[in-house]
Amino acid sequence: MSPNLILVLLISPLVGFLINGLFGKWLKGNEKLSGGIGALAVLVSLICSISAFISVKNGNPLEGDAGHLYSWIVSGAFIAGGPFEVNIGFHVDALTTVMLLVITGVGFLIHVYSIGYMHGDEGYTRYFAYLNLFVFAMLILVLGNNYLMMFVGWEGVGLCSYLLIGFWYEKQSATDAGKKAFIVNRIGDFGFLLGMFTLFAAFGSLDFVSIFDKAEAGTIEIVFGETTKATLMVATLLLFVGAIGKSAQLPLYVWLPDAMEGPTPVSALIHAATMVTAGVYMIARSAILYNLAETGAVVAWIGVLTALFAAIIALKQNDIKRILAYSTVSQLGYMFVGVGVGAYASGIFHLVTHAFFKGLMFLTAGSVMHAMANELDIRKMGGLRNKLPITHATFLVGALAIAGAPFLSGFWSKDEILHSAWDSFPFIYIIGLVTAFLTAFYMFRLIFVTFYGESRVEPEVASHLHESPAVMWLPLAILAVPSALIGLLLGVGGHNSWFHHFTEDVFPKAHEASGSVLLFMAISSVVGIAGIAYAWKRYKDRAPSAEPTNTLQKVVANKFYVDEVYNTFIVQPIKGASHFLLWKLFDSGIIDGIVNGVAALIRVIGGMLRRLQTGIVQAYIVSMVIGIVLFLAYYLFFT
């Protein structure tokens, strides 16, 4: 595989961004052209990704020196390990190509869908510019052969996410949500930065290959604690803080549900399929470090607790996109369980299947909103399956997949993760199983309330109910196919499946999970079907009650009051402190004092300098001569 292929892959969305970004004014009148350019740019990347995938499959990855493009900065020998180099290069192996296919494949379909969904929006070209820029940043994140490039992409997708959440910036809630996402992510990114610094101090490099080689050989500078392991623990946990922020895990998940303020295709692409999985990708990429540091348990526990917590909250939500958002948080938790217990391939496999079925469900949710004049409350829906048959069918496929219905994609990937967890972490297995039941329940609650039973649609809206145009339902139909079948194609056979073979060179060998695969599958199936059945019993013909009936329900419906707790104990104190300490005391008192003092000083000096800077040439000459005399005195006499 030549680096040129990857360059084309990477640059294409950037070109799309530049065209839509710079010439938006001229493209404004022509939506088809603007959206077409955006989609085409990603299509080119998709084709290149397929080609890269074939190369890797034929045993021809792009790694090490072959992927090196050039050294951005070469610095002197500040550190013991030789000159510090910041390299720009690509690392394309099985893991990268899997990510590439997800990003460009799902990305392309979502671009096509957006052509219809964003029809008539004021910021049509701006939208496609941002979306292309996002794809570009995400590609940098997965293509880079070092942590710095990963960080550049990491920040790039964060910026695009911020811009797209706040896309409708006239809406106060949208700009607030954008800010919230940005600020919460800062916390995570700070951890990521510190993690990078630690790695740099420990290895004298940020390149994947050199770090992993040195880690395996044990040539690590001890930065923290007594042992190399302690250093690696610090580094991996700090990197994990970054992943917690970006992938919305406990306790930093709060931004993701609010991020649903953005356009729905954005929720599908950025806040379900790709960006939020960056943390999982990062850990999978650093698998060697996590194995050596043995910090996987932390990752797995955070993951499973997040999965459970978010699933519980999802039980009582009535906003269609928020249910999906909490479901995303919960499913990301599963992925972290996978990579945490050392089953990296399984975690990434779930990332892939989730990208398809969750992307699909968000797009169908968009289709519902499109039909319902942007109504989000499922209590005002009901009986939609007759009016929106395609939407209903595709949503059902997605829901069955996530609920773990036998033989659909989510069934295979989720089962693999749970199975791998069983041996070393039986508790995690049990919590995961409970979560699986809850997942099936809340997802089918959503289905039954929305698509079945009596119609509760307001008459005015009901008269306009219509299925979406082809440009929107076609991507749904296409996404439904992998959502249903990808597990059957790639995942059959657990550790001997195609997917595991494809990625076996990338990840450290996971131990074979014990116990009968079939038994575990049977348990998972029963749990999933039980969840669906219970949902059918409760919601087949009635809407959720308007008000929670007991305290527990109320707590859940209010999302455990986490936002309120954060607001009371973190946001307000910080605001208060910044108001009094930072602003009143420090800023007004000290800084302004200094600034005003400096300003006053500058005025005084300026007053004196103005006398010099009179515009009178003689004065300039005098000041030059004074300067000369002073410097000459210093120069000749101070030896």
Partner 1 sequence: MPLEIPDINWSLLMPQLVIVSTLLIVLVFDMFDAISKKTLGWMTIVGAGIALWSSIDLLQAGTDQTQFNEMFRIDSYSLFFNIIFLVSTILVALVSISYLGSGDKKQGPYYLLILLATLGMMLMAAGNELIIVFLGLELMSLSLYVLASYFRESPASSEAGMKYLLLGAFASAFFLYGIALVYGAAGTTNIPEIISKLSVGDQLSLLSESPLFLAGIFLLIVGFGFKVAIVPFHQWAPDVYEGAPTTIAAFISAGPKAAGFAAFLTIFVDALPKLPTQATGVIVLLAMLTMTVGNVIAIAQTNIKRMLAYSSIAHAGYVMIGLAAANPDGKSSAMLYLFIYCVMNIGAFGVVIMARTADGENLMISDYAGLGFRKPLLAMFMTLMLLSLAGFPPTAGFVGKLYVFKSAVEARHYWLVIFGAINTAISAFYYLRVVVTMYMREPEEELEFKPYPPTLVIGLVLAAIGILLIGILPSLLLDQAQSAVQSALL
Q: Does 631 help bind partner 1 (rule: CB under 8 A)?
A: yes
Alpha-carbon separation of residue 577 from 180, 314, 386, 487, 591 (angstroms): 19, 34, 56, 52, 16
Please choose, out of 6-14, 259-267, 395-403, 611-619, the segment that lies near partner 1 by the rule CB under 8 A.
611-619
Q: What distance in Å separates the CA atoms of residue 501 and residue 350, rounded to the nearest whole number?
A: 16
Closest to partner 1 by CB, 58 vs 70, is 70
Cβ 126 to partner 1, closest distance in Å?
A: 11
Q: Does 608 help bind partner 1 (rule: CB under 8 A)?
A: no
Q: Does 638 help bind partner 1 (rule: CB under 8 A)?
A: yes
Per-residue contact string for residues 568-607; x = within reach of partner 1 by CB under 8 A = ----------------------------------x---x-
Cβ 399 to partner 1, closest distance in Å?
A: 43
Please choose, out of 34-42, 504-512, 586-594, 617-625, the segment that lies near partner 1 by the rule CB under 8 A.
617-625
Cβ 627 to partner 1, closest distance in Å?
A: 3
- List, as one string, the DSSP characters of 131-156: HHHHHHHHHHHHHBSBHHHHHHHHHH
Phi and psi at 377, nearest 5°, equal -85, 120
Q: Does 613 help bind partner 1 (rule: CB under 8 A)?
A: yes
What residues from 518 to 577 belong to the interface with partner 1 (CB under 8 A)? Answer: none
Q: Does 75 help bind partner 1 (rule: CB under 8 A)?
A: yes
The dihedral through the CA atoms of 102, 108, 112, 115 has a sign that is positive
Q: Does 635 help bind partner 1 (rule: CB under 8 A)?
A: yes
Q: Does 4 help bind partner 1 (rule: CB under 8 A)?
A: no
Among candidates 370, 391, 402, which has minimal Cα distance to 535? 402
> Using the 8-state DSSP alphabet, how is residue 275 labeled?
G
Q: Does 76 help bind partner 1 (rule: CB under 8 A)?
A: yes
At residue 108, what is the residue type? F
Q: Does 632 help bind partner 1 (rule: CB under 8 A)?
A: yes
Q: What distance in Å separates the CA atoms of residue 291 and residue 287, rounded to the nearest whole number?
A: 6
Cβ 525 to partner 1, closest distance in Å?
A: 51
Cβ 178 to partner 1, closest distance in Å?
A: 16
Alpha-carbon separation of residue 552 from 235, 346, 548 (angstroms): 39, 35, 9
Q: Does 73 help bind partner 1 (rule: CB under 8 A)?
A: yes
User: Are 305 and 431 contacting, i.e. CB atoms less than 8 angstroms apart?
Assistant: yes
Among candidates 373, 349, 170, which has minimal Cα distance to 261? 170
Q: Does 624 help bind partner 1 (rule: CB under 8 A)?
A: yes
Cβ 356 to partner 1, closest distance in Å?
A: 34
Q: Does 620 help bind partner 1 (rule: CB under 8 A)?
A: yes
Q: Does 633 help bind partner 1 (rule: CB under 8 A)?
A: no
Q: What distance in Å separates the CA atoms of residue 315 and residue 308, rounded to the nearest whole number?
A: 11
Phi and psi at 170, nearest 5°, equal -75, -20
Cβ 338 to partner 1, closest distance in Å?
A: 35
Closest to partner 1 by CB, 427 vs 631, is 631
Please choose, out of 65-73, 296-304, 487-495, 536-544, the segment that lies near partner 1 by the rule CB under 8 A.
65-73
User: Are 173 and 308 contacting, i.e. CB atoms less than 8 angstroms apart?
Assistant: no
Please choose, out of 121-129, 374-382, 448-456, 627-635, the segment that lies near partner 1 by the rule CB under 8 A.
627-635
Among 424, 455, 553, 623, binds partner 1 (CB under 8 A): 623
Per-residue contact string for residues 14-53; x = within reach of partner 1 by CB under 8 A = --------x-------------------------------
Among candidates 141, 130, 109, which has minimal Cα distance to 10? 141
Q: Does 621 help bind partner 1 (rule: CB under 8 A)?
A: yes
Which residues, including other chains, have CB under 8 Å from residue 628's CB and lie 6 or more apart? none
User: Are 139 and 11 contacting, i.e. CB atoms less than 8 angstroms apart?
Assistant: no
Q: Does 634 help bind partner 1 (rule: CB under 8 A)?
A: yes
User: Are 382 and 455 contacting, i.e. CB atoms less than 8 angstroms apart?
Assistant: yes
Cβ 86 to partner 1, closest distance in Å?
A: 10
Alpha helices in 541-639 (DSSP H): 551-557, 562-566, 572-577, 592-612, 617-637
Cβ 618 to partner 1, closest distance in Å?
A: 9
Q: Does 72 help bind partner 1 (rule: CB under 8 A)?
A: yes
Q: What distance in Å separates the CA atoms of residue 114 and residue 472, rounded to the nearest whole number?
A: 8
Alpha-carbon separation of residue 515 from 153, 185, 342, 518, 519 (angstroms): 41, 40, 17, 9, 8
Cβ 636 to partner 1, closest distance in Å?
A: 7
Q: Does 71 help bind partner 1 (rule: CB under 8 A)?
A: yes
Q: Which residues pair with 247 in a beta bridge?
A: none
Q: What distance in Å separates the CA atoms of residue 134 and residue 107, rounded to the nearest whole number?
A: 10
Please choose, out of 108-116, 518-526, 533-541, 631-639, the segment that lies near partner 1 by the rule CB under 8 A.
631-639
Cβ 53 to partner 1, closest distance in Å?
A: 27
Closest to partner 1 by CB, 120 vs 634, is 634
What residues from 297 to 326 belong to the interface with partner 1 (CB under 8 A)? Answer: none
Closest to partner 1 by CB, 489 vs 609, is 609
Cα 63 from chain centre:
25
User: Are 31 and 115 contacting, i.e. CB atoms less than 8 angstroms apart?
Assistant: yes
Instruction: Give how many residues touch partner 1 by CB under 8 A.
Output: 29
Please choose, out of 108-116, 465-473, 505-513, 626-634, the segment that lies near partner 1 by the rule CB under 8 A.
626-634
Tokens of 287: 């698998």
Closest to partner 1 by CB, 11 vs 201, is 11
Tokens of 299: 């990752």
Tokens of 447: 């289905």
Please calculate the CA angle 563-567-570 and round it to the nearest 5 degrees. Answer: 120
Cα 371 from chain centre:
28
Among 470, 492, 574, 628, binds partner 1 (CB under 8 A): 628
Q: Give the footprint of partner 1 on this chain (CB under 8 A).
A: 22, 70-73, 75-76, 78, 602, 606, 609, 612-613, 615, 617, 620-621, 623-624, 626-628, 631-632, 634-636, 638-639
